[in-house]
C-alpha cells in the first residue's frame, strides 16, 4: 500500500477512536467496515473526477461510474469467498458485517452507480476535511497559548485546570495534558470494547489487536517521556527562582514571586497524580493491566521515579533568615588553620547571636495534590560556613542552634515547615582581616515518606548571610552580600566568590541597585552618570574591580588623586543611594 494512503487509513482510525465530531455521520452513506477493509482499492480511485464528469454529462464518466461500482461489488465478493470456510469466530463476524454492507450498497445504489460514486467522493472529501481540521485545530490550540501568564481552563475527562503559569511552562503542561487526555480516551475505548463482550468483533472491525495495544503503549511512553523532561524544566525554573530571589534580596532585582512557580508545580502535580490514580483499583487500566502486567508495572515504576525526581527539586525556602546578624563572643580556643598555602596559627572564637536577634525561617514542598500522600516525618536545620562547604567538610558538631519547629499542612499552607525563635547559641568564626568574605548558610533537611516509595530526605540551602560583631562592619557586609548574591551562582556547589569582576559587571550591578530603589518607577542612570561611576571605581584601569577595592579601600580625591578620602567606594555609593531615596 502507498505509505501516504496507509497514513490516511491510520488517521481515519484515530479520528474514529477519539470520537471526533463529524465521524458519527461520516459513514451513513458509505459503510465504515467496507470502507476500511477495501481501503487500498478505494483510495486508488479518483472518485471526485468521476463525479465531476458525471455532473458534466460525460458519457465516459457514466460508464466509469458503473465499472467502479461493479469493481467494488466484485472485491466484496472476493473477500466473502476467501473467508467462506473459516471457523474462526472473529472472521465469521467480519464476514457477516461485509455481507450486511454489500446488501446495503446493492439496495441503495444498485440502480444508480452515479449516486454511489457521488456518495463515495463526498465521504472521502469529508474524511480529508476532518483530518485537516483536526490537525489545524491542534495547531491553533498550541498557538493560542503562546502568551505570558495565560489562564487556561481544560475540563476534558475531569482533568485538572492549568492556570496562570509562564509561557514555556504552560505550553509543555498543555502537551502533557493532551497526551493524558488522548491516552484516557484510548483506554476508555479499549474497556468499552471488552466490557461489551464484543471486543473480538469490534477490534477486528476498527483496529487490529496488536495495533490498538501498540498504540496505547506508545502513547504511554510518549506521556512518560514528556513528564520526565518537564521535571527537568521545573528544576531549571527553581534555579531561576533562586537567582531572582538572591538578586531581590540584595535589591538589584525585582521581588521574586514564588506563586507562579508553585502553580507550575501544582499543575504538573495534578497531572502526575491523575495518571498515578489509574493504577489504583479502578476500571480504566483493569483490562489492559491483565494483558500487559509486567509492562504496566514498569510504567508505574517510572511514574514513581518521576515523583521522586519532582521531590528532589521541589523544596524551596519561602522565608529566608536575616541577611546580617549581630553576635557576641562566648570564649575562644586555639586551632591551626590553613591560609594561602601556609600554616598559620589562627584564633577560633566561639560566638552566639544576641538574644534580640532571634529570627524565623521556613521551607515548603511544591507539588499540589501530587503530595497528598506525602508525609513530612521530620525536619532539621543546621548552620554551615561556606568555606567548610567548599572544602567538602561535614557540619561542625560544636555548632548549636535552638529553634521551635512547626509543621503546617492545610489548604492555605500545604507542606510548610516553620522554624521559629531561631537562635545560634554557639559557633566558630575564624578571626581574620577579611570578615566580609565569611559567608554562612542554613542547611534544611526534610525527611519525608509516601506510598509506593518509602522514605527519603530532601535538602536545600538558605541564601548566604553574615555575622557582625560591631556596627562599623555593617556597610562592608552589605557590600559583600551584594557583590556575591548579584553575580554568582549560589547553588552550584562551588561556594566560591571571585575576588575581582569586570568593570562592566560592577557598573551593571550598581545601575540595577539604583533602579530598584523604587521598582515601580525605576530611576535609570544616564550615560554620563555611568561614566562618572566608572571614574570613581577603584582599580578599574585594567578593566577589573577587586572586592577589596570595592568594599574597603579608601577612595581617592577627584582633584588630588594622590590623596585619600576617609571612606570606601561602597560607603560613598551607599550614601548616594540614601540621598536618591530620600
| Overall residue count recorded for the chain in this entry | 582
In DSSP terms, 361 is beta-bridged to 419
Q: Helices 259-278 and 209-249, interaxial angle, to 10°?
A: 160
Percent of the chain with pLDDT over 90: 40
Which homologous superfamily does the CATH classification assign to the domain defined by 320-330+349-477?
STAT transcription factor, DNA-binding domain (2.60.40.630)
Secondary structure element (H or E) that encloses residue 130, with its range = helix 113-144
Which homologous superfamily does the CATH classification assign to the domain defined by 158-314?
STAT transcription factor, all-alpha domain (1.20.1050.20)
Percent of the chain with pLDDT over 70: 78
Kindly state the cell numbers that stand for 141: 490550540
pLDDT tens for each residue of 91-145: 565 777 788 778 778 877 877 889 999 999 998 888 888 877 765 554 444 443 3
Cα–Cα distance, 211 to 199 (Å, whole number): 14
430 contacts: CB under 8 Å, gap ≥ 6: 337, 346, 347, 348, 387, 438
pLDDT tens for each residue of 428-472: 876 566 788 899 999 999 999 987 678 999 999 999 999 988 778
In DSSP terms, 430 is beta-bridged to 348
Residue whose C-alpha is closest to residue 180's, from 254, 258, 277: 277
SS3 readout for 475-514: HHHHHHHHHHHHHCCCCCCCCCCCCEEEHHHHHHHHHHHH
The DSSP secondary structure of 292-309, one letter per residue, reads SHHHHHHHHHHHHHHHHH
The owner of cell 577595592 is 549
Cα–Cα distance, 50 to 63 (Å, whole number): 10
State the pLDDT at residue 164: 37
pLDDT tens for each residue of 136-187: 554 444 443 333 232 222 223 333 333 334 444 577 888 888 889 888 888 8
Region of poorest pLDDT, from 74-88, 290-304, 321-335, 339-353:
339-353
| Long-range CB pairs of 123-131, under 8 A, 24+ apart, other chains included | 123/26, 123/27, 123/29, 123/30, 123/35, 124/42, 124/43, 124/47, 124/48, 125/48, 126/22, 126/26, 127/8, 127/12, 127/26, 130/15, 130/20, 130/22, 130/23, 130/26, 131/8, 131/11, 131/12, 131/15
State the pLDDT at residue 158: 34
**Distance of CA 328 to CAs 175, 322, 332, 361, Å?**
56, 16, 12, 22
Half-sphere exposure of 241 (CA within 13 A, CB side): 22
Q: Which residues of 32-70 are buried (b: 16+ CB within 10 A; e: fewer)?
A: bbbbbbbbeebbebebeebbebbeeeeeebbebbeebbe
The owner of cell 530532601 is 458
Decide if pLDDT at 251 tops 90: yes
pLDDT tens for each residue of 364-420: 999 877 888 899 999 999 999 998 888 888 777 778 899 999 999 888 888 999 999
Cα-Cα-Cα-Cα dihedral sign, residues 504, 506, 508, 510: negative
Which CATH code of 1.10.532.10, 3.30.70.100, 3.30.460.80, 3.10.20.310 fits the domain covering 3-140? 1.10.532.10
Region at 332 (left for phi over 0; alpha for psi -120 to 50; beta for the rest): beta
Considering the chain, what is the average pLDDT of its residues?
80
Backbone phi, psi, residue 569, to 5° = -60, -45
Half-sphere exposure of 466 (CA within 13 A, CB side): 23
Question: How is the chain split into domains, by residue range?
Answer: 3-140, 158-314, 320-330+349-477, 500-581
Cα–Cα distance, 126 to 21 (Å, whole number): 12
Cα–Cα distance, 273 to 370 (Å, whole number): 5
In DSSP terms, 419 is beta-bridged to 361, 405
State the pLDDT at residue 197: 43
Residues 53-63: what's their mean pLDDT?
88
Report pTM. 0.68
202 contacts: CB under 8 Å, gap ≥ 6: 193, 196
Q: How wide is the angle at C-alpha 341 spanned by C-alphas 335 and 347, nearest 5°?
A: 20
**Distance of CA 189 to CAs 99, 175, 211, 278, 492, Å?**
26, 21, 14, 15, 48
pLDDT tens for each residue of 514-555: 999 998 888 899 999 999 999 888 876 688 999 999 998 888
Amino acid at each position: 500500500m502507498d505509505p501516504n494512503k496507509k497514513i490516511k487509513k491510520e488517521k481515519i482510525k484515530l479520528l474514529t477512536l477519539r470520537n471526533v465530531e463529524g465521524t458519527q455521520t461520516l459513514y451513513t452513506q458509505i459503510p465504515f467496515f467496507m470502507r476500511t477493509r477495501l481501503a487500498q482499492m478505494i483510495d486508488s480511485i479518483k472518485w471526485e473526477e468521476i463525479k465531476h464528469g458525471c455532473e458534466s454529462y460525460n458519457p465516459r464518466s457514466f460508464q466509469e461510474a458503473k465499472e467502479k461500482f461493479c469493481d467494488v461489488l466484485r472485491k466484496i465478493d472476493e473477500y466473502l469467498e476467501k473467508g467462506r470456510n473459516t471457523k474462526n469466530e472473529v472472521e465469521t463476524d467480519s464476514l457477516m458485517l461485509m455481507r450486511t454492507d454489500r446488501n446495503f450498497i446493492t439496495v441503495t445504489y444498485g440502480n444508480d452507480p452515479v449516486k454511489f460514486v457521488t456518495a463515495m467522493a463526498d465521504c472521502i472529501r469529508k474524511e480529508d476535511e476532518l483530518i485537516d481540521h483536526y490537525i489545524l485545530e491542534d495547531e491553533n490550540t498550541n498557538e493560542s497559548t503562546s502568551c505570558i501568564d495565560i489562564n487556561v481552563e481544560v475540563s476534558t475527562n475531569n482533568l485538572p485546570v492549568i492556570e496562570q503559569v509562564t509561557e514555556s511552562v504552560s505550553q509543555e503542561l498543555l502537551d502533557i495534558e493532551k497526551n493524558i487526555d488522548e491516552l484516557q480516551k484510548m483506554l476508555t475505548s479499549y474497556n468499552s470494547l471488552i466490557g461489551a463482550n464484543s471486543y473480538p468483533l469490534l477490534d477486528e472491525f476498527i483496529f487490529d489487536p496488536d495495533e490498538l495495544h501498540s498504540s496505547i503503549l506508545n502513547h504511554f511512553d510518549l506521556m512518560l517521556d514528556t513528564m520526565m523532561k518537564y521535571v527537568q524544566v521545573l528544576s531549571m525554573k527553581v534555579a531561576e527562582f533562586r537567582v531572582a530571589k538572591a538578586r531581590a534580596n540584595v535589591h538589584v532585582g525585582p521581588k521574586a514571586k514564588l506563586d507562579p512557580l508553585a502553580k507550575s508545580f501544582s499543575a504538573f502535580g495534578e497531572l502526575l497524580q491523575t495518571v498515578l490514580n489509574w493504577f489504583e483499583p479502578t476500571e480504566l487500566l483493569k483490562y489492559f493491566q491483565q494483558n500487559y502486567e509486567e509492562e504496566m508495572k514498569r510504567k508505574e515504576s517510572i511514574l514513581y521515579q518521576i515523583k521522586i525526581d519532582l521531590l528532589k527539586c521541589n523544596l524551596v525556602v519561602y522565608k529566608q533568615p536575616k541577611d546580617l546578624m549581630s553576635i557576641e563572643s562566648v570564649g575562644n580556643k586555639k586551632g591551626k588553620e590553613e591560609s594561602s598555602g601556609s600554616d598559620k596559627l589562627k584564633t577560633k572564637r566561639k560566638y552566639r547571636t544576641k538574644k534580640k536577634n532571634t529570627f524565623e525561617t521556613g521551607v515548603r514542598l511544591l507539588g499540589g495534590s501530587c503530595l497528598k500522600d506525602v508525609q513530612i516525618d521530620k525536619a532539621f536545620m543546621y548552620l554551615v560556613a561556606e568555606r567548610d562547604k567548599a572544602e567538602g567538610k561535614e557540619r561542625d558538631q560544636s555548632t548549636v542552634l535552638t529553634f521551635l519547629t512547626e509543621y503546617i499542612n492545610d489548604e492555605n499552607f500545604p507542606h510548610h515547615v516553620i522554624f521559629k525563635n531561631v537562635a545560634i547559641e554557639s559557633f566558630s568564626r575564624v578571626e581574620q582581616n577579611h570578615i566580609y568574605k565569611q559567608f554562612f548558610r542554613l542547611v534544611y533537611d526534610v525527611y519525608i515518606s509516601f506510598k509506593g516509595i518509602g522514605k527519603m530526605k530532601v535538602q536545600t540551602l538558605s541564601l548566604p548571610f553574615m555575622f557582625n560583631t560591631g556596627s562599623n562592619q555593617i556597610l562592608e557586609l552589605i557590600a559583600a552580600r551584594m557583590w556575591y548574591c548579584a553575580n554568582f551562582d549560589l547553588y552550584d556547589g562551588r561556594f566560591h566568590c571571585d575576588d575581582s569582576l569586570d568593570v562592566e559587571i560592577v557598573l551593571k550591578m550598581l545601575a540595577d541597585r539604583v533602579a530598584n530603589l523604587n521598582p515601580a518607577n525605576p530611576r535609570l542612570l544616564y550615560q554620563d552618570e555611568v561614566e562618572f561611576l566608572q571614574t570613581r571605581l577603584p582599580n578599574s584601569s585594567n578593566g577589573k574591580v577587586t572586592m577589596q577595592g570595592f568594599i574597603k579601600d579608601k577612595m581617592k580625591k577627584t582633584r588630588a588623586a594622590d590623596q585619600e578620602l576617609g571612606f570606601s567606594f561602597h560607603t560613598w555609593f551607599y550614601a548616594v543611594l540614601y540621598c536618591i531615596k530620600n
